[in-house]
A and B are shown apart, each in its own frame.
Chain A
Amino acid sequence: MQEKLVEFANLLRENGVRVSLAETLDAFSASEVTGLGERDAFRAALRATMVKRSTELPVFEELFDIFFSGLGEIIKQASQAVQNALSMSDQEFQKFLDEITEMLKKEGKNLSELAKQLLQNNSGELERKINEAARAVKISGIERTIEENYFARALARQLGLDKIEAEIKNLREQLEKMDVGPELKAKLEEYLERRLKALDDIIRRFVRMEREKRDIKQKDDQRLNQIGEKSFYYLTEEELKKMNEAVNRLAQRLKNVITVRRKRAKKGRFDIKRTLRQNLSYGGVPFKLRFEKRKREKPQVVILCDVSDSVRNASRFMLQFVYSLQDLYSRVRSFIFVADIGEVTEHFRNNDSKEALDVALKGDIINVYAHSNFGYAFRSFVSDHIGSVNKRTTVIVLGDARNNYNLPHDGCLREIQQRAKKVIWLNPESRNTWGFGDSEMDRYAPHCDVVEECRNLNQLYRVIDRLVTG
């Protein structure tokens, strides 16, 4: 059993579930407590000891089913099929099997163990034999569909299938000589025939199942990491969905970072003056200690997000990020622009992320099919919304600065910078292409405190991390 559990742990690992050695040991002791008799309890024991993330539960359930019932189930189905082919009821079949056992006792002296077990329908032993043979041919190395045939043949050889074939042929010849009724004889013949086929079938299905085990590989975590390095421009629809998940996780992680840091910074140094003054009433005995209180500014953030066609994928993702950010800080104002600029703060606050993003990108708030015009957008922002920017505000611009050769109005950005605490520009384009063609990045960059390339999730994460600490 221990071997089987170790193998199962390996399988879980292959499929992206992190199972440590200690957890495997726990699984041993847990399965000893519950025993193996009851499937549900055994399952629950493994589940509680080996799977520690709720997201990994489906993988576990699926693998458990395949791993712990697979072969037994296949064998059961195979013998059921034989029974059906002979059109017998359960009782008849059982009686028939008993007869065979009787017969084998008399005639089957020279039959191999496996052949006997096969004919007597001893599924437990059969299962053990097949598992043994499977280990011998190292079936755990199977990876591709085309290898199935090879492994099936190897397994058959290991089990000595050709020998069994010969043995059964022999048995049939013996059957001819025996004096049993013609009806029973016909049935026996058919049974032998079918059993042999069934074994073949069992082997094939077993090999396929083994391959499938290794195929489920839902390495979610890994895939998310890969997405982390992938540029926003090349994301597929499905990856975008995954991305949302990643962004939410990112926001969550960010939140933790913030709480920890906030806590550490909450208490300042020991304040001698205040402590003395406070404790005058106790005759100068310091009953109550006083510390300097640190004032924490709540970060105020204004976000300007480009949603034009040139940054389509990126902007969807960026908006998702804006949405998460707004959830995180209480004082965030979000604007989107192409040429016109519009505020989406309220909108984001009241709707869930998917709905909010859809509306923002559909063009209900501003015309998203216009040609992007950063200059115009900045000028409108300065004339209409400059009040939202003050000394404590961090302004974040998300966009590629592709201005379609319109007037850049970089003076407006300068004005924003002068009023704001900080201006951060995150550009989803590669740094090499800045300033070429209609990119006005070089013109805008001097008026920003931070300019970062932000092409994928990992870069974004780094930027945010700096933003939070700074």
Chain B
Amino acid sequence: MFSSIEDVIERFAKNNYIASRRIATVIYLATELRKPVLVEGPAGVGKTDLAKVLSASLSFDMIRLQCYEGLDEGKALYEWEYAKQLLYTQILKDKISEVLVGAKGLTEAVDRIAAQDEVFFSERFVLPRPLLKAISSEQPSVLLIDEIDKADAEFEAFLLELLSDFQVTVPELGTLKAKHIPLVILTSNNAREMSDALKRRCLHLYIDFPDRAQELAIVKLKVPEAAAKLSEEVVTVVQSLRKLDLKKMPGISETLDWVKALTLLNVQSLDQELVNETLDTIVKYEGDVRKAQEELKDYVRRVRARRGTETGSDKDLLN
């Protein structure tokens, strides 16, 4: 575990994740208090990455449960391997008849079969899904429940039970208790409001888009091969786009994609044509693209005018 908040920041940095003090504090609290963390925020600000980095920096296993509409216990917790059970009964037909040899009447036969019940309802035939895996894992683990807002309200209620006790009752097997309480990270894109009960059990972390300096640091860390000037320009553009009323704001991942794409094209600095051609890596809707183009036209013109008169720093302009 972590020894202090600074330790969190440091070890995250080693895994290429720039954690603000706020994020680090919450993670530190989560490990100390053993509470799940509900991470909210717009898409593409590194919510899922947070869990990955957490598991990497503690060298825990990561178990991931991706939520979607209609996700149920069978997919999330465990399932009986129905087909396997059937297959075994078919293959073991002879053995079963051996058990039944000499049985008088139907009642006795059924009793004898019933005595063998646990053979078929044993852990051998349980197909563990992520949640059960996290609970029964021998090593401590990080459990990432991704996009919990996509799952239905019933599933959320079911999750509550799990998150408070970390034990699961399988009727045929009894209660399975977690050997190590996993560190749980839940992420939500706010497609719907989570229930109060769930929120109450979690620490809440809201990650917003990073400010300019932070984003620049992230770009430098993740795409070190990009030209310094280019990354600055890209970050500035993306920051200004986030001020617009877009259907989907470009996240950090979009910024990184864009920088990577431009670097691949061996671009040193932005210009109008390039922006227009590659804009769809960061803005994903038709209406948004139009708005972005409108905004960027001004920006590029300003840059060019500036460059015409002097070749000094662009910094003032960028702000």
Contact = CB atoms under 8 A, between A and B. Distances in A.
Do A and B interact? yes
Interface of A: 18, 20, 22-23, 26, 29-30, 33-34, 40-41, 44-45, 47-49, 51-54, 57, 252-253, 255-256, 259-260, 263, 266, 285, 287, 350-352, 354
Contacts of A52: 38, 196, 199-200, 202, 204
A393 to B, nearest CB: 26
A263 B69 contact: yes
A332 to B, nearest CB: 18
Contacts of A263: 69-70, 152
Contact of B203 (A22, A48, A287, A350): A48
A20 B26 contact: no
A52 B26 CA distance: 13
A260 B25 contact: no
A44 B26 contact: yes
A40 B33 contact: no
A401 B25 CA distance: 60
Interface residues of B, number: 39
B185 to A, nearest CB: 13
Given A20-B200, A259-B69, A266-B70, A48 B154 contact: no
Given A41-B5, A44-B26, A263-B70, A22 B200 contact: yes
Q: Is the interface of A mostly helix, strand, loop or mixed?
A: helix
15 contacts: A18-B196, A20-B200, A26-B203, A30-B33, A40-B22, A44-B21, A48-B37, A52-B204, A253-B192, A260-B154, A263-B152, A287-B83, A352-B245, A352-B287, A354-B245
B192 A30 contact: no
Interface string B188-210: 00111100100110111110000
Interface in B137-159: 152-154
A256 B153 contact: yes
B152 A260 contact: yes
Nearest to B245: A352
B33 A256 contact: no
Given A53-B193, A252-B192, A255-B192, 17 more contacts: A18-B196, A23-B200, A33-B32, A40-B21, A44-B21, A45-B29, A48-B25, A48-B26, A48-B29, A48-B204, A48-B205, A52-B200, A52-B204, A54-B40, A54-B206, A252-B191, A253-B192
B304 interface: no
A54 B287 contact: no
A262 B141 CA distance: 35
Contacts of B203: 26, 30, 48-49
A22 B203 CA distance: 12
A256 B69 CA distance: 10
Given A40-B22, A54-B40, A260 B153 contact: yes
A57 B70 contact: no
Contact of A44 (B25, B196, B247): B25
Interface in B76-108: 82-83, 86, 90
B166 interface: no
A278 B144 CA distance: 38
A22 B25 CA distance: 20
Q: Which 3 pairs show the lowest CB-CB distances between chains A and B?
A: A44-B25, A52-B199, A48-B203
A18 B200 CA distance: 10
B22 A44 contact: yes
Contacts of B37: 48
A52 B35 CA distance: 14
Interface of B: 5, 21-22, 25-26, 28-29, 32-33, 35, 37-38, 40-41, 69-70, 82-83, 86, 90, 152-154, 190-193, 196, 199-200, 202-206, 245, 247, 286-287
A5 to B, nearest CB: 15
Contacts of B69: 259, 263
Nearest to A21: B200
A237 to B, nearest CB: 19
Contacts of B82: 287
Nearest to B41: A54
B286 to A, nearest CB: 7
Given A30-B33, A52-B199, A263-B69, A351 B204 contact: no
Contact of A26 (B26, B33, B153): B33
A350 B86 contact: no
B145 to A, nearest CB: 16
A217 B41 CA distance: 25
A53 B86 CA distance: 49
Contacts of A23: 200
B287 A351 contact: yes
Contacts of A34: 5, 25, 28-29
Nearest to A51: B204
Contacts of A33: 28-29, 32-33
A51 B22 CA distance: 14
Contact of B247 (A18, A41, A49, A352): A352
A287 B86 contact: yes
A47 B83 CA distance: 49
B10 to A, nearest CB: 15
Nearest to A18: B196
A351 B287 CA distance: 7
Given A40-B21, A263-B152, A350 B200 contact: no
Contacts of B41: 54
Contacts of B153: 256, 260
Contacts of B32: 33
B91 to A, nearest CB: 12
A252 B204 CA distance: 22
Contact of A45 (B25, B70, B247): B25
Contacts of B286: 350
A236 B191 CA distance: 29
Contacts of B206: 54, 57
Contacts of A256: 153, 192
